[in-house]
Amino acid sequence: MSPRGKLYFMLAGLLAVGLAVIFATQAQPAALTSPLAIRQGEVRQVEKALEFSVATATSTDLADLEPRPDLGDAKARYLCLEMKQQGNDEAGYGELICPGGDDTTVGVTPTGEAVAPVAEDGVVEATIESPESGTLKVTIPLAELGLPFGAYEFRFISSDGSCGSEPGDDCVDQLPGDGGADFTLQTPVMAGCSGADGVEVRSGPEDRKVVALTFDDGPGTSTGEILDILKEKRADGTFFLLGQAVEMDPETAREIVLSGSEVANHSMAHDAFPTSADLTATNDVIEEVAGFRPCSFRPPYGSVDPPLTGRAAGEGMNTVLWDVDTEDWTDGASVDSIVEGAKLNARPGSIILLHDGGDARREKTIDALPGIIDELRGEGYRFVTVSELLGNEIKWTVPEPSDDS
């Protein structure tokens, strides 16, 4: 390590504290006089958010910072976190994340070409605080950034815009001063859920441009491929599982949870109007296998009445139907019709019905899913689980990085 800096690592535990890398340094000698000289920085994952704090030589006015600076501009004034995926060539995905303008957004400039950015306009929601003079604390939902989970190299960079003809060490500061530091974004895993009202719902609140992709009747032979697509597209789903299918394929049920998606109750054997004993047995099987007790229930065939809603409520679950049926289960469905059905009918708060279960490969659903995600994301939608959509209280864990992360 360069004598200009010292690097301290702290890996947090499994729960809400998350994972963090903290370091402090002396500024590069030529940048000591800059008001944006970086004194200390911290990057942390807190559940499903990226959080970073950075301390500069003097207090920083957000209005004076550029959220999407041109680093080649000698007059640009910025304070940014740069993250780049490890294990990739020069085209590997990265993001330059810069506060500036106000305390509710940050600018995001993608670097590399491996992954398309979530934020097409380069601005994402964030919470920016100044806990003390000269320090900014920035919290950004990971779903807003769209950074794939995995290993990253990161650095803080700043410039006060006082460069001469071109940026250089006399006006640009960097922390660490000799390259980058390592950080791993881990997939947050649902460990608990509460707060379900025990009511029947067909969609969620309309105040945010988010939707829930839901998959019925699994785990089945298509579930693994669907999970791969969700991972590639950086989208979460909710899987309404049959208890007997979970017993036959427990590994896939566990994989759903470990992927960051949600598991939910669809009865033991897809019988209409299941009994309380059936609902309890299904939850017991899912919890034993996946380590998560569902707080959402979907009635087989969509058949529901008040007594069934009451039985689900007795198990601490909402009865969750849908407002967008892609009809992927029908013989007449095509890939195009499934995509168009989702695109034309989705609105803020929509719950979209798809299927992953059964012994036969859900070929049309698998082929349509990337298009659904791309089309809706292009219209500004984000993808959340049903529990997130409905505002249930979720307990998340953030696993420690493995040796091969």
Beta-strand ranges (E) seen in 86-175 are 94-100, 102-111, 123-125, 127-129, 135-141, 150-160, 172-175
| CA separation for the pair 2, 328 (Å, rounded) | 58
Do 180 and 155 meet the contact criterion of CB atoms below 8 Å apart?
yes
| 270 catalytic residue (yes or no) | no
Do 135 and 112 meet the contact criterion of CB atoms below 8 Å apart?
no
| Residue 76 burial (CB count, 10 A) | 18
Does a cis peptide bond (omega within 30 degrees of 0) precede residue 176?
yes
**Exactly one of 266, 328, 355, 356 is catalytic; which is it?**
355
Residue 238's closest CA among 215, 204, 210? 215
- 359 exposed, middle or buried (CB, 10 Å; 0-12, 13-18, 19+)? exposed
**Exactly one of 173, 216, 249, 356 is catalytic; which is it?**
216
| 266 catalytic residue (yes or no) | no
| CA separation for the pair 82, 71 (Å, rounded) | 12
Which amino acid would we find at residue 76? A
| CA separation for the pair 279, 285 (Å, rounded) | 10
Do 47 and 85 meet the contact criterion of CB atoms below 8 Å apart?
no
Q: How far is CA 340 from the centre of its chain?
A: 25
DSSP secondary structure letter of residue 379: T
Active site positions, annotated: 216, 355
